[in-house]
A and B are shown apart, each in its own frame.
Chain A
Amino acid sequence: MSEVFFNMEGINKFYQMGDERMHILKDIHLRMDKGEYLSVLGPSGSGKSTLMNIIGCLDTPTSGSYVLNGNLIEDMTEAELAQIRNREIGFIFQNSQLLPRLNALRNVEMPLIYAGIPPKERRRRAMEMLERVGLSDRMYHFPNQLSGGQQQRVAIARALVGNPNLLLADEPTGALDQKTGRQVMQLFQELSDEGRTIIMITHDMHIASYARRVVHIIDGELTEGGEASHA
C-alpha cells in the first residue's frame, strides 16, 4: 500500500502576454506516491518548468487544487510556502545555480541556514552529503574550480542536505556532456534505490527512461506514459 505524496487536480496555468492570455498548463491531473521515481518528458516550451515551479511551490496555479504532503497549497502565505520548500523539496536546476563566492561546503549548507540549524551541525551534515555525492576531496573548492559534473553533484548534495521528501530536478544533465550526464543519472538511480522520491524533468527520452514512471507533456497537456524500465 503506497502513501500519496502529492495530488494535483485540474491544474491550469495562464500567462498574460500583452493582450494575449496564454494557456500554458491545461487541466493537469497528477498523483505521486512516496518513493516513486517519475520523469516528466516533453519538448522545449511544452510547460515542463512551469509545472515544476508549481510542484515546487515556487508558483501557484491559476486554478485547480494541489495538495502536497497534506498541505493545501493555495491557502498558504508566502512565508509558509518558503518553509514548505525548505522542508519538503530539494531543487536541482539545469545550471547548478551555485553561489560563486561560496565554496562547495558553504553552498551545500545554504538550505540549513533557513532551517535554523546551528553552524557546527550544518557543517557536519554538509560534509556528509558531499561525501555521499563523491566530492569529499572538493569541499573547499569554489564553483569555478569545479567541472560541470562536479558542480551538479554539489547542487545535488545541496538538494539532499535538508533531507527533503522530494528531489525535484529540472534538466539536471542539460549542460553536461554524455559521460558526466550518465554519472549524474547513476547517482539519481542510487538515490531512488535508497527510497527517495524523485521527479526528473527532461526533454531527453533516454534520460527519462531511467525513471520507473514517465509522464508526457505536450503543449501543456499531460498524458500518462505508463511504466518504463531502463534498458
Chain B
Amino acid sequence: MLKKLRKFFVMLRECVTMSLENIWGNKVRSFLTVLGILIGVTAVIALITTVNGVSGSLTSSFSSMGAGTLTVSVTGSDLKTGLNTDDLNELTGLDLVAGLTPTVSSRVRVSRGGSYESGMTVSGKNAYYFRTNPDVVTRGRALNVIDESNMSFVCLIGPELVETFFYGVDPVGESLYISGIPFTVVGLFSDENTESITSMFSGSPDILVPYTTALKLNNDNLVTSFTVYLADGADSELASDQIEAAMDVMFSYEEDCFTITTMSSVEDTMEEMLGMMTALLAGIASIALVVGGIGIMNMMLTSVTERTTEIGLKKALGAIPWQIQVQFLIESFLLSIIGGIAGVALGLLLSIILTNVMGTEFVVSVGAIALGVGFSAAVGIIFGWAPARKASKLNPIDALRSV
C-alpha cells in the first residue's frame, strides 16, 4: 500500500514537471489558450471587489445621512390632500418624534434691478430645520417661528445667487423679487456642511424661505412631503408605526394615502439592486469562463492528437491508462489554474484602479479570490476530462505506427 502511494507520488511529480515544461514550451499557444479563463476571472474579481466597495460606501453614507430620520410623502384622499399645521404639530408631539421639517419646493424666476435668473429652486423650511442644522446659516440670521406664522417675505440665499446679484455688495438687508414678489434677504446659507438625503435626490436649493411662504407661492396650504427627526435612540420601525397610526386617524383610515420611508428600507432596496447587478454581471463573466474552458478543451484535444506517439510510447514503456489520463488532466488543470491566478492578480489590480477612480473603498474579497481560483480549477478538470480520457484510450500499437 505504502509502496503504491510512493509510486503514485513519483509519477505525479513527473507529470507536474512535464506539464509545466509543455506549457512553457508552447508559450504563445498556452497564453492564447488561457486568455479566456484569464479574462473571465479578471472580470469576476474586478466586478465583485468594485461592487463591494460601492455598496460599502453607499451604505455608510446612507446610514450617516439618514441616521435618525424618516421621510413621509402624502398622496392624500379625495377629502384631504395633505397635512395642515395642526396635523404637523400633532405629529411633532408624538413621543418618538423630536421634530419635523416640511419639504416644499418650487421653481421660480428671481430678479433684482435689471437682471433676472429663471429656474431657481425655492425650498420652504421651518424653524426646527434651522435648529437641528445650525451650520446651514453662514451669515445673517435663520428663519424663525414668527416668519413662519406671519408667512413673511424673507429669504436666505445660496452662494450662486450671491454671486449673480450681489457682486461686491453685502446682500443681508437687500431685497430681490421672487416670482414678482419683493423679498428681504435676511441671511446667507450653504448646504456644504449638511448633506441631506433630500438634497442628494433633488439637488440643492438656491433660496430658503419659511415653509408657509413657500406654500403660498405654490397657491397651496397643505404639506405633502416632510422629513421626521426621531427622538434620541428611537427605533425607526417603532417610530414609523407610531406615525402611521397617527396619520391613519388623520386620513380616516383610508388606504394608500401616504408612504413612510425609513433609511433601512432604502438601504435594503439599494443592496438588493446591487446584488442583482452583481449576479447579472457575474453571469456574463461566467460565460467567459465557459468559453475559456472550451478553448482549453480544444487545445488539449489538439495536444492529444499531436502527441499520439508519445502516448503510445509511454504505454509501451509501462504507463497504465489512468496514468496517461492523470497526466493530461494535470496539464489542463495547471494551464487553467495558471490563467486563473493571473486573472486574480489582474482583477485585483484593476479593482484597485477602479476603486481609486471612483473614490470608494478597496476591500480584498477572499470569497471572490476563492471563487476565481476554484472556478478556473474546476474548468480545467471538467474541460480537460474528455481529452485526457481520449488520450488514455489510445491503442499503443496504432499510436506507435503513426510515425
Question: Do the two chains belong together in a single complex?
Answer: yes
Q: How many A-B pairs with Cβ below 8 Å?
A: 68
B318 to A111, Cβ gap below 8 A?
Answer: yes
B residues 301-352 with Cβ under 8 Å of A? 309-310, 313-323
B residues less than 8 Å from A158 (CB atoms): 317
A97-B309, A116-B10, A118-B10 known; A82+B403 contact, CB < 8 A: no
A110-B317, A116-B10 known; A53+B397 contact, CB < 8 A: yes
B316 to A58, Cβ gap below 8 A?
Answer: yes
Report the bound CA distance from A87 to B14 in whole Å: 19
> Which one of A93, A114, A118 contacts B323 once the chains associate, using CB atoms below 8 Å?
A114
| Minimum CB–CB distance for B320 against chain A, Å | 5
B residues less than 8 Å from A56 (CB atoms): 316
| Minimum CB–CB distance for A156 against chain B, Å | 14
Q: Which residue of B lies closest to A50 (CB)?
A: B397
A residues less than 8 Å from B321 (CB atoms): 78-79, 82
B residues less than 8 Å from A82 (CB atoms): 315, 318-321
| Minimum CB–CB distance for A67 against chain B, Å | 20
Question: Is A113 located at the chain interface by the 8 A CB criterion?
Answer: yes
A99-B313, A101-B25 known; A115+B3 contact, CB < 8 A: no
Q: Which residue of A lies closest to B13 (CB)?
A: A119
Report the bound CA distance from A83 to B322 in whole Å: 13
> Which one of B6, B10, B21, B310 contacts A113 once the chains associate, using CB atoms below 8 Å?
B10
| Minimum CB–CB distance for B129 against chain A, Å | 79
A residues at B contact (CB < 8 Å)? 53, 56, 58-59, 78-79, 82-83, 85-87, 91, 93, 95, 97, 99, 101, 110-111, 113-119, 158, 162
A residues less than 8 Å from B322 (CB atoms): 79
Q: Which residue of B lies closest to A110 (CB)?
A: B317
Question: Is B396 located at the chain interface by the 8 A CB criterion?
Answer: yes
B residues 7-52 with Cβ under 8 Å of A? 7-8, 10-11, 13-14, 21-22, 25
B residues less than 8 Å from A115 (CB atoms): 7, 318
B residues less than 8 Å from A101 (CB atoms): 21-22, 25
Report the bound CA distance from A56 to B315 in whole Å: 12
Q: Which residue of B lies closest to A95 (CB)?
A: B403
A residues less than 8 Å from B396 (CB atoms): 58
A residues less than 8 Å from B25 (CB atoms): 101
B317 to A114, Cβ gap below 8 A?
Answer: yes
Give the B interface residue count (CB, 8 A): 28
A residues less than 8 Å from B313 (CB atoms): 97, 99, 110
Report the bound CA distance from A111 to B318 in whole Å: 7
CB-defined A-B contacts under 8 Å, sample of 11:
A59-B397, A78-B321, A79-B321, A82-B318, A82-B320, A85-B318, A87-B318, A95-B403, A97-B313, A114-B319, A116-B7
| Minimum CB–CB distance for B324 against chain A, Å | 10
Report the bound CA distance from A118 to B323 in whole Å: 16
Question: Is B364 located at the chain interface by the 8 A CB criterion?
Answer: no
A79 to B320, Cβ gap below 8 A?
Answer: yes
Q: Nearest 5 CB-CB pairs, A to B?
A: A86-B318, A116-B7, A114-B318, A111-B317, A79-B320
B residues less than 8 Å from A83 (CB atoms): 318, 320
B residues less than 8 Å from A59 (CB atoms): 397
Report the bound CA distance from A110 to B3 in whole Å: 19
| Minimum CB–CB distance for B397 against chain A, Å | 5
| Minimum CB–CB distance for B135 against chain A, Å | 74
Question: Is B400 located at the chain interface by the 8 A CB criterion?
Answer: yes
A116 to B6, Cβ gap below 8 A?
Answer: yes
Report the bound CA distance from A56 to B321 in whole Å: 17
A97 to B400, Cβ gap below 8 A?
Answer: yes
B residues less than 8 Å from A95 (CB atoms): 403
| Minimum CB–CB distance for A87 against chain B, Å | 8
Report the bound CA distance from A95 to B309 in whole Å: 12
| Given A97-B309, A119-B10, 18 more pairs with CB closer than 8 A | A53-B397, A58-B316, A58-B396, A58-B397, A79-B321, A83-B318, A85-B316, A91-B316, A95-B403, A97-B400, A101-B25, A110-B314, A110-B317, A111-B317, A111-B318, A114-B318, A114-B320, A116-B8
B3 to A116, Cβ gap below 8 A?
Answer: yes
A residues less than 8 Å from B10 (CB atoms): 113, 116-119
A residues less than 8 Å from B314 (CB atoms): 110, 114
B319 to A97, Cβ gap below 8 A?
Answer: no
Report the bound CA distance from A108 to B187 in whole Å: 95
Report the bound CA distance from A78 to B25 in whole Å: 32
> Which one of A93, A113, A114 contacts B400 once the chains associate, using CB atoms below 8 Å?
A93
Q: Which residue of B lies closest to A97 (CB)?
A: B313
B residues less than 8 Å from A86 (CB atoms): 317-318
Interface centre among B8, B313, B322 (most CB of A within 10 A): B313
Report the bound CA distance from A162 to B313 in whole Å: 15
Q: Which residue of A lies closest to B10 (CB)?
A: A116
Report the bound CA distance from A101 to B3 in whole Å: 30
| Minimum CB–CB distance for A108 against chain B, Å | 11
Q: Which residue of B lies closest to A111 (CB)?
A: B317
| Minimum CB–CB distance for B361 against chain A, Å | 49
Interface centre among B6, B21, B320 (most CB of A within 10 A): B320
Report the bound CA distance from A79 to B310 in whole Å: 18
Report the bound CA distance from A46 to B36 in whole Å: 52
| Minimum CB–CB distance for A165 against chain B, Å | 14
B residues less than 8 Å from A119 (CB atoms): 10, 13
Report the bound CA distance from A119 to B13 in whole Å: 10
Report the bound CA distance from A110 to B309 in whole Å: 14
